[in-house]
Structure 1
Amino acid sequence: MTANRPLIIAHRGASAAHPENTLVAFAAAGALGADAVELDARRTADGAVVVHHDDTLPDGRVIVGLACGELPDSVPTLAEALDACGDLIVNIEIKNLPGEADFDPSERVAEAVVAEVAARATGARTVVSCFHRPTIDRVRALAPDLVTAYLHLHLDGATALAEAVAHGHRLLHPWYGWVTEELVAAAHAAGVGVNTWTVDDPELMVRLASIGVDGIVTNVPDVALQVLGPR
């Protein structure tokens, strides 16, 4: 691959080698070849932002019903996770979906994420994404210079791209099954980058790189580095 190969984005950290969304997974990502880390942000009962994919813990307790100090040590705060990522680019996926236990239409979690990034002055290497478009709309309203990404699974690519452009989001994050050469070309023509998820198959990595995606989210950044080469 050429020097402008896609970013290798470690999905929930180096999650094939270590437990996902943990400090050890984030710390290991760069050493395994990742350029960036993707992680999941949720709110707790006392307004903290923690990193966990599901709205419940494995024991069934709902995260938003617990204070931060009641969570297991394996669930880091967003601040701890960002520290563990070091100088890597970080994609913070805000979890705020209708139907989940912690859904909050007032977007307090978006406000807390923006505040944490602003306090660190790391906006230049931070992306904030969400499946719920009003959430990233709120992020963009609070921090217009922060890169926001529209995640989508249930919309076709052209419709999702039109939404992203209409609402000023600079990245589109489609599931890899939606990604076509035509979608990537249309996105780039509109000034929108395309990062796709979650890709662990080497042949698929090569195909997606060949049609110009800007980033590949993967559980195996070491495999991606072997396939795509150094940046």
Structure 2
Amino acid sequence: MSARRALAVAHRGDPWASVENTLEAVRLAAGAGASAIEVDLRCTADGVVVLHHDDDLRRLWGRPESVAALTLAELREFVPAVPTLREALEVADGVPLLLDTRDPAVATAAHAELGRLGAVTMFCGAAEAMAAVRARDERITLFLSWYGELPPSEGVLGAVRPQYFNPEHRFLDAESVAYWHARDVLVSCWTVDDADRRAELLAWGVDAIIGNDLNGVVKSCAERT
């Protein structure tokens, strides 16, 4: 099942070359040969989908405000560099975005925005958010992100119907990769910045690797034939 070249997925754009989840990070990832670009989503107080990981602006921008408490105009006044989903799609230059959220409301807002734009992309994130997208779209590609050692229940799998199972890489081994492949589910993992670990995962047949070390991820995935 995994003879194909693995996807090299940029984590939050190219965060080692620019600030994560900015247009520059997305542009650099697209130019560096990423197969897809994972970006994190939030919604502003007036319902605009933007790229940002944290609840608030402290870690990246040194401000205490919550993204959800600000309108887009207010957010732009405080932090002009936070882009909208629409802007990110434009600069990705055809490289698919992998839209990451744990929030069903944000996920459905993003899916609606894609419909207005006529854009096709992919989603990853927590089960509830992915189930909300699946309920709206039977054909869209979903990565079911997973955050623990125990596997998802059959109920979760039935609601999400993911094309990819997407755990943290430390929860994978050769047997678990083979298990998901036997169920006709591809395997992705995050966040892998060690070359030896990437080689091990790829030897097991992992189908997509998400990483900050974008050049390393692209090189490792290209080396698997």
What is the aligned partner in structure 2 of residue 103 from structure 1? none
The alpha carbon displacement at 1:89 in A equals 2.1
What is the aligned partner in structure 2 of residue 53 from structure 1? 53
What is the aligned partner in structure 2 of residue 101 from structure 1? none
What is the aligned partner in structure 2 of residue 79 from structure 1? 86
Measured at CA, do residues 187 and 164 of structure 1 come closer, stay the same or move farther in structure 2, by a change above 3 Å?
farther
Count of residue pairs brought into register by the alignment: 215
Q: One-letter code of the match for 1:175?
A: E
What is the aligned partner in structure 1 of residue 145 from structure 2? 151
Q: Distance in 2 between matches of 1:90 and 1:148?
A: 12
Measured at CA, do residues 220 and 190 of structure 1 come closer, stay the same or move farther in structure 2, by a change above 3 Å?
same
Do the aligned residues in 1 keep the contact of 2:210 with 2:217 (CA within 8 Å)? no
What is the aligned partner in structure 1 of residue 125 from structure 2? 130
The alpha carbon displacement at 1:3 in A equals 7.6
Q: Distance in 2 between matches of 1:161 and 1:117?
A: 29
Q: One-letter code of the match for 1:134?
A: E
Q: For each residue in 1:43-76, what CA deviation from the matched residue of structure 2 results, as whole angstroms up to 9, or x when unmatched? A: 1111111110101002111111000111111111
Q: One-letter code of the match for 1:173?
A: N
The alpha carbon displacement at 1:150 in A equals 1.3
Q: One-letter code of the match for 1:166?
A: G
The alpha carbon displacement at 1:30 in A equals 2.5
Instruction: Choose which of 152, 160, 175 in structure 2 pairs with 1:182.
Output: 175
Instruction: Choose which of 195, 198, 204 in structure 2 pairs with 1:205.
Output: 198
Do the aligned residues in 1 keep the contact of 2:57 with 2:67 (CA within 8 Å)? yes
The alpha carbon displacement at 1:37 in A equals 0.2
Q: What TM-score does the superposition give when structure 1 sets the normalisation length? A: 0.86
Do the aligned residues in 2 keep the contact of 1:164 with 1:172 (CA within 8 Å)? no
2:172 is aligned with 1:165: no
Structure number with higher helix proportion: 2
Measured at CA, do residues 51 and 95 of structure 1 come closer, stay the same or move farther in structure 2, by a change above 3 Å?
farther
2:40 is aligned with 1:20: no
**Identity of counterpart residues, as a percentage?**
32
The alpha carbon displacement at 1:94 in A equals 1.6
What is the aligned partner in structure 1 of residue 105 from structure 2? 108
2:101 is aligned with 1:94: yes
Do the aligned residues in 2 keep the contact of 1:13 with 1:25 (CA within 8 Å)? yes
What is the aligned partner in structure 2 of residue 42 from structure 1? 42
Measured at CA, do residues 3 and 187 of structure 1 come closer, stay the same or move farther in structure 2, by a change above 3 Å?
closer
Measured at CA, do residues 61 and 32 of structure 1 come closer, stay the same or move farther in structure 2, by a change above 3 Å?
same
Q: For each residue in 1:203-225, what CA deviation from the matched residue of structure 2 results, as whole angstroms up to 9, or x when unmatched? A: 11111111011100011221223
What is the aligned partner in structure 1 of residue 118 from structure 2? 121
What is the aligned partner in structure 2 of residue 218 from structure 1? 211
Q: Distance in 2 between matches of 1:192 and 1:6?
A: 14
Secondary structure of residue in 2 paired with 1:148 = strand
Could you say what the CA RMSD is over the residues aligned between the two structures, in angstroms?
Answer: 1.9
Q: What TM-score does the superposition give when structure 2 sets the normalisation length? A: 0.89
Runs of 4+ with deviation above 6 angstroms: none
